[in-house]
């Protein structure tokens, strides 16, 4: 088992700290910096992100640069034994730039140019904006790229947004020329003859026409492309300044508007911002499972390489509708969950609450009161003390046997296609993904989260809910995976469109999946609230399923074409049609589920797949509801995180192995009692 090097050179501890903004204080309250240094030690914080929104401090007027203030801060942090992730400040531009160069301000879909406000409202295409930030980035690298405190570059902040100015529309058309080569191919890919939308000149293309779903899908691809190109330009300027430090940028979980898989060619380390809203009720364990899904994706993105939790909140973000405080134990367990799922950094937004402006009430380590006495600070300090005992976890990873496919382009194709109903409520694409992941999370079975074009050969089981869009080569890759002995689970609305959002011909699931699954989905029905159909399991079915159930509000009318029927609908005109099938292909099997069948069925199915695929849970005893178990390993030791995400005490029966409590360096009894919201971190030999 490979152990990864630490994300920060010459630093083998878990990074702990957060966004630090001394530029807000040094003019009027210079003593605050000295007090911060004292509090950082008390909080057990060792790593800080600096300069994220400091453009106006670096360059208060065009061409006038001031770096001494940052050098002084870096010197003081280095002397105090702290390390720094230094940001490029492109995420929020100074007012003089907006005033001098109106073209840098974004244009909305109605053609109105934005005024100077907020942040992330700059045009990624603007040559002026690119030139200005490149000049500043190059100077930052020259000034601080070799400073001993600086260990990594933080590229911008939470990239987001789109622009409809003439420059962006021209760039989109150029991107389309490169993608399709000719208008004839583009018109076919978009089925543009419908409604007489055929294009005869490239200049006729306007991405605001949402009636062409192929163009809507391509526009989303382009927005990601242009974002990545802007990021590349930022990084190129830093490299020109002479720095060779690693690069990262902070993602935002499953943010719907950017395909984060495309960031991987640019960043050296994956990082995420995470702000869950706990409900303080019996549903919190479901929120924890959802967080696990997000964390698992970030761990999976670089093939198991540890990632960074670059922003989180020790208290509560101010922008929650009801900013309820985190109850005792919640913060600690939330942070340690990120560690359990592969993070090597736990950092916060923000270190100290500001006195004014937009986020003055956003949670922070240091409150407006300003000392170490508040409850939040003491909690952070306690966690910091715990983290010092976990150095051996740094660089360790997880090697799951299960992969769940989550693909932004599949999600976008569903979002941009009219007629794709969403009777389940919530996100049309994400809900079945969360439900599938949750069933493995409840059993302590680690799961990777990958996109559809990833290599699947290391897994025993691949689950792909609603694989609506098939990228080129995906069907062939899935067939190869199954033929070599893998197990594939597909669901309703799979294989509907190709990469251009064109429906497959010859029956669904298309693109080669019909033959692979051994089923034909003749029709799909969407039921009204309260409606369902009865389902029974086939006697003697090969998975051993037995409990009858009901369909959810989506139901495909399936025909078995060589596949074994495991479950059948018994009511309405669906009666006699299969709803769950198995097709044996080569050494493996493909399961196809034609309707959501409820949580109880999902649990029974997961138990059956666990037996079928011989999946190895982290702990071989059943887990109480609301308890999560995750594992990391360096090949010699396994680090087991057992977490209670409920208000009730829970007992976990450990399997017959010798465990050591890493927090107390003591042996652990076979029956482990967890207090409400408690985490226990154990180690055992591999």
Q: What average pLDDT score do residues 600-614 get?
A: 97
1 has pLDDT over 70: no
pLDDT at 41: 97
Q: Tell me how crowded residue 661 is: count the other CB atoms within 10 A of its CB.
A: 15
Q: What average pLDDT score do residues 324-345 get?
A: 96
In 24-163, the DSSP E strands lie at 47-50, 83-87, 150-154
User: Which of 41 and 663 is assigned the larger pLDDT?
Assistant: 41
For the stretch 529-540, pLDDT in tens is 889 999 999 999
pLDDT at 476: 97
Q: What average pLDDT score do residues 270-293 get?
A: 96
Give the whole-number percent of the chain exceeding pLDDT 90: 90
* CA distances (Å), origin 216, targets 209, 220, 676: 8, 6, 47
For the stretch 407-416, pLDDT in tens is 999 999 999 9
- Whether residue 518 contacts residue 488, with contact meaning beta carbons closer than 8 Å, is answered with no
Indicate the DSSP class of residue 112.
P
Joined tokens for residue 556: 């495909």
Q: What average pLDDT score do residues 458-467 get?
A: 98
589 has pLDDT over 90: yes
Tell me the helices (H) and strands (E) count for the chain, helix number first: 16, 27
* CA distances (Å), origin 459, targets 106, 446, 453: 44, 11, 14
pLDDT at 655: 86
Q: What average pLDDT score do residues 113-128 get?
A: 93
pLDDT at 8: 82
151 has pLDDT over 70: yes
Q: Beta strand 660-661 with 679-685: parallel, antiparallel or unpaired?
A: antiparallel
For the chain, the average pLDDT equals 95
Range(s) within the chain of domains with CATH label 2.60.40.1180: 627-685
- Whether residue 455 contacts residue 558, with contact meaning beta carbons closer than 8 Å, is answered with no
pLDDT at 7: 84
Range(s) within the chain of domains with CATH label 3.20.20.80: 15-179+223-390
Domain 402-613 architecture: 3-Layer(aba) Sandwich (3.40)
For the stretch 610-634, pLDDT in tens is 999 999 999 999 999 999 999 999 9
Single out the catalytic residue among 59, 162, 311, 638. 311
- Whether residue 403 contacts residue 445, with contact meaning beta carbons closer than 8 Å, is answered with no
Residues sharing a CB contact under 8 Å with residue 190, sequence separation 6 or more, in sequence order: 197, 212, 214, 215, 218, 500
Using alpha carbons only, give the angle 434, 437, 441 rounded to the nearest 5 degrees: 125
Place of tokens 């706990």: 278
425 has pLDDT over 90: no
* CA distances (Å), origin 612, targets 208, 449, 457: 49, 21, 18
Place of tokens 């439900």: 435
Asked about 135 being catalytic, the answer comes back as no
pLDDT band for 489, please (50, 70, 90 cuts). Answer: very high
pLDDT band for 557, please (50, 70, 90 cuts). Answer: very high
Q: What average pLDDT score do residues 33-50 get?
A: 97
Q: Beta strand 402-405 with 343-348: parallel, antiparallel or unpaired?
A: unpaired
Q: What average pLDDT score do residues 428-448 get?
A: 96
Q: Beta strand 487-491 with 461-464: parallel, antiparallel or unpaired?
A: parallel
Class at the top of the CATH hierarchy for domain 627-685: mainly beta
pTM of the model: 0.96
421 has pLDDT over 80: no
Nearest C-alpha neighbor of 390 from the set 650, 623, 637, 627? 637
- Whether residue 308 contacts residue 272, with contact meaning beta carbons closer than 8 Å, is answered with yes
159 has pLDDT over 90: yes
pLDDT at 205: 98
Range(s) within the chain of domains with CATH label 3.40.50.880: 402-613
659-668 long-range contacts (CB < 8 A, ≥24 apart) are 659/683, 659/684, 660/684, 662/389, 662/390, 662/392, 663/386, 663/389, 665/389
Asked about 311 being catalytic, the answer comes back as yes
pLDDT at 686: 85
Nearest C-alpha neighbor of 682 from the set 671, 667, 635? 667
pLDDT at 5: 87
- Whether residue 113 contacts residue 102, with contact meaning beta carbons closer than 8 Å, is answered with yes
Between 117-126, 150-159, 199-208, 303-312, the lowest mean confidence (pLDDT) is in: 117-126
Give the whole-angstrom CA distance, residue 113 versus residue 105: 6
Stated as kind and residue range, the H or E segment containing 20 is strand 15-20
Single out the catalytic residue among 59, 158, 234, 564. 158
Specify the fold of 15-179+223-390. TIM Barrel (3.20.20)
Q: What average pLDDT score do residues 327-342 get?
A: 97
685 has pLDDT over 70: yes
447 has pLDDT over 70: yes
- Whether residue 449 contacts residue 406, with contact meaning beta carbons closer than 8 Å, is answered with yes
Q: What average pLDDT score do residues 184-201 get?
A: 97
pLDDT at 419: 84
Nearest C-alpha neighbor of 347 from the set 40, 74, 92, 641? 40
């Amino acid at each position: 088992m490979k152990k990864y090097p630490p994300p920060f050179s010459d630093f083998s501890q878990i990074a702990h700290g957060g966004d630090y903004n001394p530029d807000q204080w040094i003019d009027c309250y210079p003593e605050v910096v000295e007090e911060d240094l004292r509090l950082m030690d008390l909080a057990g914080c060792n790593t800080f992100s600096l300069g994220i929104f400091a453009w106006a401090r670096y360059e208060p007027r065009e061409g006038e640069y001031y770096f001494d203030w940052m050098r002084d801060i870096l010197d003081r942090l280095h002397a105090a034994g702290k390390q720094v992730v230094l940001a490029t400040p492109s995420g929020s531009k100074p007012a003089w730039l907006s005033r001098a160069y109106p073209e840098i301000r974004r244009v909305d879909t109605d053609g109105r140019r934005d005024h100077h406000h907020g942040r992330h409202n700059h045009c990624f295409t603007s040559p002026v904006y690119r030139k200005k930030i490149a000049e500043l980035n190059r100077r930052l690298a020259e000034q601080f790229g070799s400073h001993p405190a600086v260990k990594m570059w933080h590229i911008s902040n939470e990239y987001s947004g789109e622009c409809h100015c003439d420059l962006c529309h021209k760039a989109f058309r150029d991107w389309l020329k490169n993608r399709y080569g000719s208008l004839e191919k583009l018109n076919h890919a978009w089925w543009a003859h419908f409604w007489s939308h055929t294009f005869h000149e490239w200049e006729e293309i306007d991405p605001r026409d949402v009636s062409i779903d192929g163009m809507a899908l391509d526009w989303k691809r382009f927005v990601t492309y242009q974002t990545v190109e802007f990021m590349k330009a930022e990084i190129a300027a830093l490299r020109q300044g002479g720095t060779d430090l690693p690069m990262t940028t902070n993602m935002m979980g499953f943010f719907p508007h950017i395909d984060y898989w495309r960031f991987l060619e640019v960043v050296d380390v994956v990082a995420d911002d995470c702000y869950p809203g706990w409900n303080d009720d019996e549903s919190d364990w479901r929120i924890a499972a959802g967080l696990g899904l997000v964390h698992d994706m970030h761990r999976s993105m670089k093939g198991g390489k540890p990632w960074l939790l670059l922003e989180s909140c020790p208290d509560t973000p101010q922008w929650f509708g009801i900013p309820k405080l985190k109850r005792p134990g919640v913060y600690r367990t939330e942070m340690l969950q990120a560690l359990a799922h592969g993070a090597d950094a736990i950092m916060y937004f923000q270190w100290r609450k500001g006195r004014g402006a937009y986020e003055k009430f956003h949670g922070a380590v240091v409150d407006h009161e300003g000392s170490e006495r508040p409850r939040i600070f003491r909690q952070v300090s306690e966690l910091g003390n715990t983290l010092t005992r976990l150095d051996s976890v740094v660089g360790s990873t997880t090697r799951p046997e299960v992969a769940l496919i989550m693909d932004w382009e599949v999600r976008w194709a569903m979002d941009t296609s009219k007629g794709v109903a969403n009777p389940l409520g919530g996100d049309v694409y994400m809900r079945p993904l969360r439900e599938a992941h949750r069933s493995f999370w409840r059993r302590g079975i680690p799961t990777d989260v990958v996109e559809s074009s990833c290599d699947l050969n290391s897994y025993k089981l691949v689950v792909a809910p609603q694989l609506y869009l098939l990228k080129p080569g995906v069907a062939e890759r899935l067939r190869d995976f199954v033929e070599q002995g893998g197990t594939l689970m597909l669901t309703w609305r799979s294989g509907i469109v190709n990469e251009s959002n064109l429906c497959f011909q010859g029956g669904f699931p298309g693109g080669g999946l019909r033959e692979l699954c051994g089923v034909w989905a003749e029709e799909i029905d969407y039921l009204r609230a309260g409606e369902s159909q009865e389902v029974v399991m086939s006697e003697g079915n090969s998975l051993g399923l037995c409990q009858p159930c009901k369909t959810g509000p989506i139901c495909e009318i399936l025909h078995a074409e060589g596949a074994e029927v495991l479950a059948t609908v018994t009511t309405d005109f669906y009666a006699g049609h299969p709803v769950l099938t198995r097709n044996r292909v080569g050494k493996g099997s493909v399961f196809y589920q034609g309707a959501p069948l409820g949580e109880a069925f999902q649990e029974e199915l997961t138990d059956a797949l666990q037996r079928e695929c011989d999946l190895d849970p982290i702990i071989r005893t059943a887990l109480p509801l609301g308890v999560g178990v995750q594992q990391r390993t360096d090949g010699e030791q396994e680090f087991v995180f057992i977490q209670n995400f409920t208000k009730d005490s829970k007992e976990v029966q450990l399997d017959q192995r010798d465990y050591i409590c890493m927090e107390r360096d003591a042996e652990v009894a076979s029956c482990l009692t967890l207090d409400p919201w408690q985490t226990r971190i154990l180690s055992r030999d591999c």
